[in-house]
Structure 1
């Protein structure tokens, strides 16, 4: 028996030595922790890393030398390691004897039940695996320590790129904590902070690299994780944490959705856009975005399916595989057609019209709106040429997003189109939408000036009553502004509102800018905007968007109103 015990002890010693040797291949400092997380053995470069000798660490708990903000995370990581045998690489910081924080330290380790239920933890000076620009731009939710939505999408993109080399399968889980706001209101500040810190630690500890989890809004949390993570167990732990912290003992109900976030050979730029769109769409749990058949229902792999939709969308716009309709804008009070606004119409694989708002939302969120705008410009110039060949002298306004004006390649491409189509320029107008997206007004003004050099008139869409709108008309040379129909309706309900609207129109006239009223659908609204001094109007009262303008054209030729 003694010989057997000695043999077993020798085998365990050899196994411990092998683990120590393997740890030092990767790390600079090895810690052995007992079941109470007390350091029973330390060896390696503790002085340079933690500011104290390795032997001085023995007898202390790991938590006592960790910086406080990392204690919940490490506690949870070690708890998870007890179940699955290993602790994924995470970054932490320690408290040095002078009370200063150590440099970031990478921590990894194993739980070995055959060695007295001890943990073996290896530490090394951290090498930030994220690109410097991403690491520098990361923002966190102060309460939980989790990434915000934008930061999470950037980090997820980097992890998915790394996944291609490792072949790991990743999933994305979204947890919605129902009745979370009432719970937080029932709690004192200190208890609420402790609960939120614990939730953040739970999610980070189970996420890829220990830091690919985020808080999207007040009660929604998401994380990228390995496929074998027991999400149900994590959900139960968070629910227990909330219930224990709740003075009423009620807690929250958690609903969790999981989707594959596996990245195939998607270009990095497209992947980054697709990830952000996928996270937002997954959080909303609605089919609010641009969809062809590949994005209907809850997709099994949201990133790849989003990218498929991006490719499909890109192919359709590059090949001009979409329809265009034209809505008249008329001069007041005569209702004579002044020009048409051209609008894109896309259809899904079942030939059902995709609502324009969904189309534009998708294009903006995946940063493809400039490609759509350029395709509309190409199509419209070709259409104008065909109309001129048929003897129809018509003017058309093409929508261009404020995002596109911020895109130099788009603007250069537009100039190149104008150079090749100079004979059609007198028939083209540009209507700038989403002007709030223009952050660099000086640069936008330069491009708009270049467009106007070709004889192209410029209109600002959705011009309202906010102070920012006046900044745009003072910075940008434009010929028209279009006032939002809802703003007009609200203003014309009261005498003060009518005076203000009339004054706004007068101000534009003082600046030599003509004013268009949109969404005019009744005779009463037409009469009110005429009285307020509007120059033009657009709406169903004067004509709906049509593929074929010949009906309107015949009416004009015959001297009739549309």
Structure 2
């Protein structure tokens, strides 16, 4: 079933509606921004489109109107701009837009923009199972076959019109028209005639059938199987407050009520000063899978049961709080003073445990999980700011290997914000010499002599202190700066080794090359040139490449390593045992060393099965004529067992951590 698409367009509404419909979407389109936030929420759409082409001011106002609802519902907000207005992109970004497209663009490009925005919403908010607009769904809708004197109303629309609640209620067209105001009757006839004659979707509006103070819009389209269908949308009078602040499915407060509750306390309206409010966001896991496996009625019943379970968990304390359903399977528990972060942390743990107990829905036993993020208000916070930081904590709780509850400490920086800051800081770090080289000794097991070192990068960050190579390279990979960082580390390590004092002059040096290096055109020639210019002897240099750097293009990696080896270098496969550990690597690549991952080295002191695995890897390497280097060796027991199995070299804290040149000279001399 096609998905809903909410559109605000001030110059091209009908054109966008036709295009969206032909691409398989079910558009709800409007030309005015009145009550846009409520209309977007009611639409159930995961994507909002604001068409600001030729109407920049209206577009900015529209984004301002819907951005908070879009964020609260973990949806996407796509802005369409005229080329001459592209300078306003920064303004749209600050207001909350997530995607943009600048004209001129083709219809195919616009459809792709819709699809990219939908994928974003799926990933961020789990909208994959969001209910598409249904001709007979929960909202008011109707069907009419051209030529027929009767029209079929949905139960919801029949109730609105005061015509009863029977499913499939059929009434005469004249009976329905008599309930419309004169202007509405004319608009209805014109809209239906247009759909019949052109097949293009359109809309009309009339005075609301219940309140008469607002308006009711009908989005009308032709059905592929024949006939015409309309879906209604209630538009409250401008400035009017919604009649209910309750979520219709669970009976909890809705997202709008939650934000109003927060604003009242954060602004000082409640309590006589800005309150240190705690926001807890709880996301129920596997809800979409339950819908897919058992159907939406079961999913809805489970969500209702989860809401009752949350209420029961928080109610006995008698705390001043609010429980709300924010969107989908996400709930908020908002705690007013004297609540603390510890209160939020403890309650989050209780709720995660409560949701983890099985639910009964009819004949189904349903097991769910949940994750929670907790944050406390900081000076100057508004509702959106506090909820945004709680959302960051929740996103980190959802990350692989994360604890189910993440707390954003007062004044602390989130992992996400820290990662974003590091990405910005990395480029400066290279220019300002913050990336330093450390050398970890490699020891011949038979003699105990230090025969080589591996060069490892360290980032001396002015704010976070010393950061290791794994953090450094993961930041570089996210920021698409991996090639520049890799070249910087290689160049600096080789230059430092070339200047070593006499006691270190016979040591081998190992440097790492990355997957990005392997696919760089001309890398082997550039690297060999770097080595030649440095003055460091090529026959004392080993390049190490990890398994993950080989998987994408084994043939290309083999050719590159052969070229490096032909230049006098030695080649090692690093961290063997962490990835696929494919025998194809050992068969196809020109290798001199196999480096066992530290987890295998440490496992050798574990069970008999662990030792057999390590023994097999060492035997296989030695049978291929490869020297074996064990990484991460920390105890004498591990070293003795590795030696017994035939390992020739080791590195790890048993000898020394990564050190600078001065410390390395002292270790070698001792």
Change (3 A) 1:188 1:483: closer
Task: Compute the displacement of 1:418 (Å).
Answer: 2.9
Question: C-alpha distance in 2, partners of 1:539/1:306?
Answer: 28
Partner of 2:93: none
Change (3 A) 1:427 1:24: closer
Partner of 2:326: 235
Do the aligned partners of 1:396 and 1:429 also contact (CA within 8 Å) in 2? yes
Task: Compute the displacement of 1:427 (Å).
Answer: 2.5
1:551 aligns with 2:666: yes
Question: C-alpha distance in 2, partners of 1:503/1:351?
Answer: 42
Task: Compute the displacement of 1:378 (Å).
Answer: 0.8
Change (3 A) 1:523 1:25: closer
Partner of 2:265: none
The structure with more helix, counted as a fraction of residues: 1
Partner of 2:591: 478
Question: C-alpha distance in 2, partners of 1:380/1:125?
Answer: 50
1:352 aligns with 2:443: no
Partner of 1:62: none
Change (3 A) 1:411 1:313: farther
Question: C-alpha distance in 2, partners of 1:146/1:237?
Answer: 10
Task: Compute the displacement of 1:144 (Å).
Answer: 3.1
Segments of structure 1 that go 5 or more residues without pairing to the other structure are: 1-21, 32-45, 52-65, 93-105, 111-123, 148-172, 199-231, 259-278, 290-295, 556-562
Change (3 A) 1:323 1:513: same
1:26 aligns with 2:26: no
SS in 2 for 1:129: helix
Task: Compute the displacement of 1:50 (Å).
Answer: 7.7
Q: Give the length in aligned residue pairs.
A: 387
Q: 2:296 aligns with which of 169, 178, 191?
A: 191
Do the aligned partners of 2:393 and 2:414 also contact (CA within 8 Å) in 1? no
Q: 1:443 aligns with which of 530, 552, 556?
A: 556
Task: Compute the displacement of 1:182 (Å).
Answer: 7.7
Task: Compute the displacement of 1:192 (Å).
Answer: 6.3
Bigger relative contact order (CA 8 A; separation at least 6): 1
Q: 1:283 aligns with which of 395, 399, 423?
A: 395
Task: Compute the displacement of 1:435 (Å).
Answer: 2.8
Do the aligned partners of 1:433 and 1:461 also contact (CA within 8 Å) in 2? yes
Question: C-alpha distance in 2, partners of 1:284/1:30?
Answer: 37
RMSD after superposition: 5.6
Do the aligned partners of 2:602 and 2:633 also contact (CA within 8 Å) in 1? no
Do the aligned partners of 1:418 and 1:454 also contact (CA within 8 Å) in 2? no
Partner of 1:144: 127
TM-score by length of 2: 0.46
SS in 1 for 2:591: coil
Partner of 1:431: 544
Change (3 A) 1:428 1:179: same
SS in 1 for 2:633: coil
SS in 1 for 2:511: strand
Task: Compute the displacement of 1:363 (Å).
Answer: 2.4
Do the aligned partners of 1:406 and 1:438 also contact (CA within 8 Å) in 2? no
Q: 1:340 aligns with which of 442, 453, 463?
A: 453
Partner of 1:517: 630
The one-character-per-residue Cα deviations of 1:193-230 (angstroms, maximum 9, x if unpaired) are: 9769x9xxxxxxxxxxxxxxxxxxxxxxxxxxxxxxxx
Question: C-alpha distance in 2, partners of 1:431/1:487?
Answer: 18
The one-character-per-residue Cα deviations of 1:302-343 (angstroms, maximum 9, x if unpaired) are: 78x866533421232355433222111111211111201121
Question: C-alpha distance in 2, partners of 1:255/1:79?
Answer: 36
Do the aligned partners of 1:517 and 1:536 also contact (CA within 8 Å) in 2? yes
Q: 2:514 aligns with which of 379, 383, 401?
A: 401
Change (3 A) 1:374 1:508: same
